[in-house]
Amino acid sequence: MLKVEEHSPVTFSADLISRFDEIVSRYPQGKQKSALLPVLHLVQAEYGWLSTQAMDKVAEYLFIQPIEVYEVASFYTMYFLKPQGKFMLEVCRTGPCCLVGAEKILNHLENKLGVKEGEVTPDGLFSFRGVECLAACGYGPVLQIGPEYTFYENLTTESVDQLIEDLKNKS
């Protein structure tokens, strides 16, 4: 069972709501539930993760039951049901990337960041995890960082170090 992590109330901004409205307009009348996945992406981009409060608000907005949102949010791997580091480094861990060193990158990240997969560094900046095939097998090893899902290809331990430095400086 999923636990509730936070109880702070959530209010969607007018701008966010107008972006929801545009998404809903893409589907036939009465099929607004189709907007659920894209809307959840927008909410996650805004808050960094999906709290129960945020999901309940989405349910209210789309005229569906909260459980329908939980079912979907917990099915798809891109949605975070608990807070993550500001930068979530998602490294592909599937076959073709492993042939060219993805496991080395994952081990390196664990040592470098000093946290295990799924944990957050004490400064709140970084999390990392292995994810399944990102469909970039020819450019492996690869990692992506949400919410923009910027892609980093042909990783080496050096390029990962550089990336972490750059992200630190950016924040």
Partner 1 sequence: MSDNKVKVTIDGITVEVENGTTILNAARQIGGDIVPPAMCYYSKLKGSGGKCRTCIVKVSKGSEKDPRPMPKLVASCRTTVMDGMEVQNITSPEVLEARAGVVEILLINHPLDCPVCDQAGECDLQDLGYEHGLQKTRYEFERRTFERIDIGDKIQLHMNRCILCYRCVYTADQLTDGRVHGVLNRGDHSEISTYIEQAIDNDFSGNVIDVCPVGALTDRTFRFKNRVWFTKPVDAHRDCPTCSGKVTLWYKGPDVLRVTARKDQFGEVEEFICNTCRFETKNTSDWTIIEPTKISDTSVIAANHYETLRPLPVIKTNEQLREANKKELEKTIKY
Partner 2 sequence: MSRKLLLEHINVPGIAGLDVYRQKGGYRAVEKALKTLTPDEVVEEVKKSGLRGRGGAGFPTGMKWSFLAKPEGVARYLVCNADESEPGTFKDRYLMTHIPHALIEGMIVSSYALGANASYIYVRGEMMPQIRILERAIAEAKAAGFLGNNILGTGYNLELYVQPGGGAYICGEETALLESLEGKRGNPRIKPPFPAIAGLYGCPTVVNNVESIAATVPIINDGGEEYAKIGIGRSTGTKLISASGNLVRPGVYEIELGLPVEEFIYSDEYCGGIANGKRLKATVAGGSSVPILPANLSLKLANGEPRLMSYESLAEGGFATGTMLGSGGFIAFDEDQCIVRNTWNFSRFYHHESCGQCSPCREGTGWLEKVLHRLEYGHGKMSDIDLLVDVAKKIEGNTICPLGDAAAWPVGSAIRHFRDEFEWHVKEPVKSQSVNYGLADYAKPIEKVAEVKTGE
- Residues 109-148: x/- map of binding to partner 1 (CB under 8 A)? ----------------------------------------
Q: Is 63 in the site for partner 1 (CB under 8 A)?
A: no
Dihedral angle over CA of 101, 105, 106, 108, nearest 10 = 130
66-85: contacts with partner 1 (CB under 8 A): 66-68, 70-71, 74-77
Q: Which of partner 1, partner 2, none binds 52 (CB below 5-8 Å, type-dependent)?
A: partner 1
Give me the helix-helix angle, 52-62 and 14-24, nearest 10°: 50
141 preceded by a cis bond (ω within 30 of 0): yes
Report if residue 114 touches partner 2, rule: CB under 8 A. no
Tell me the backbone φ, ψ of residue 127, rounded to 5 degrees. -135, 155
For residues 101 and 110, give the distance between their C-alpha atoms in angstroms, rounded to a whole number: 15
Residue placing its CB nearer to partner 2 in the complex, 114 or 147: 147
Q: Which region among 13-21, 119-127, 136-144, 155-163 touches partner 2 (by CB under 8 A)?
A: 136-144
Length of the chain in terms of residues written: 171
